[in-house]
Structure 1
Amino acid sequence: MELTSGVNWIAVIVGAVVAFLIGWLWYSPKLFGTKWAEGVGLDLTTITGVQAPAMITQVVGIFLLSWVVGITAAANSLLLCILIIVTIAVLIIANGYFAQKSAYARNTEAGYIIVMGIVMIAAQGIF
């Protein structure tokens, strides 16, 4: 299978944009940001401006995951898609243990991956 064959690019882009916007809210002080920052050793009040490398990498990663979801949707492989998303979430948790992040921070990060996946799968179903 080609990586672009049958992919619904509108759904890929919408899923990526919505997932990014949810992430912006997810890590804001309005939701989980403050306690997450404590769990990873950051002080949100000392972070100035947008950190370009982190944001660029996040946008690329979100787009790639949305593309993977699009490929699995085109191949009617929903279970593979779910397996990929759960695998990423488990690896995020493992990385959090290595980095000695708090349980709250690990769960916040893994939870965001799961929510992103749900949004991206939903976008494939809607568009």
Structure 2
Amino acid sequence: MSEVSWLAVIVATVLSFMLGGLWYSPRVFGARWAEGCRVDLESEDAGKHAVKALSVQFVSTLLLAWLLGAMVDAGEWLMIAVTVSVVAVILISAGLFHRNSHFAAVIEGVFVVVMSTVMVVVHLVL
């Protein structure tokens, strides 16, 4: 396997967080997503909870950016599609098990597909 570009991993991770900020903003899907997940964005501990969640999300996003980069470098297009699909379906399933609304669960799964597409493009460009 060839060397994964760490520049591409970092850029893909940062762009994914920017995309997430837009995706989950109240102007796009955020308000309806929060309602569907029973998340009170105005609660006193919302900030503390967000820091914990975003810290874990950063690690998983970085790992996914690296993994997809390794697959792009190896030309493993089918494995990219399978990996992204599996992650998306697991998120949708977990959301439904948590009794989130169908909308909220699907929004999380679709976000992974869109985010992963951005990551793959970054690896192809850089």
Query: TM-score of the superposition, structure 2-length normalised?
Result: 0.92
Match of 1:73 in 2: 72
Shift of 1:13: 1.1
Q: Which residue of 1 aligns with 2:62?
A: 63
Name which of 10, 13, 34 aligns with 1:16: 13
How many Å separate the matches in 2 of 1:48 and 1:94? 24
> How far 1:75 sits from its partner (Å)?
1.2
Question: Does the 8 Å CA contact 2:40/2:46 hold for their aligned counterparts?
Answer: no
Runs of 4+ more than 6 Å apart: none
Q: Which residue of 2 aligns with 1:49?
A: 47
Contact kept in structure 2, 1:9 and 1:70, CA below 8 Å: no
Unaligned 5+ residue runs, structure 2?
none
Q: Identity of counterpart residues, as a percentage?
A: 37
Q: Which residue of 1 aligns with 2:110?
A: 111
Identify the residue that residue 84 of structure 1 maps to in structure 2: 83
> How far 1:79 moved relative to its partner?
1.6
Name structure 1 gaps, 5 residues minimum. Answer: none
Alpha-carbon distance in 2 for matches of 1:54, 1:23: 13
Contact 1:12–1:70, Cα closer than 8 Å, also in 2? yes
Distance 1:49 1:72 in 2: 35
After superposition, the CA RMSD in angstroms is 1.3
> Aligned with 1:38: secondary structure?
helix
- Of 25, 40, 46, 2:37 maps to 40
User: Aligned equivalents of 2:31 and 2:40: distance in 1?
Assistant: 8
* Shift, 1:107, TM fit: 1.1
How many residues get paired? 124
Secondary structure of the equivalent of 1:49? helix
The amino acid that maps onto 1:68 is L
Residues 91-106 of structure 1: pairs in structure 2 closer than 5 A: 91-106=90-105
The alpha-carbon deviation at position 120 of structure 1 amounts to 0.3
Cα distance in 1 for partners of 2:51, 2:58 equals 10
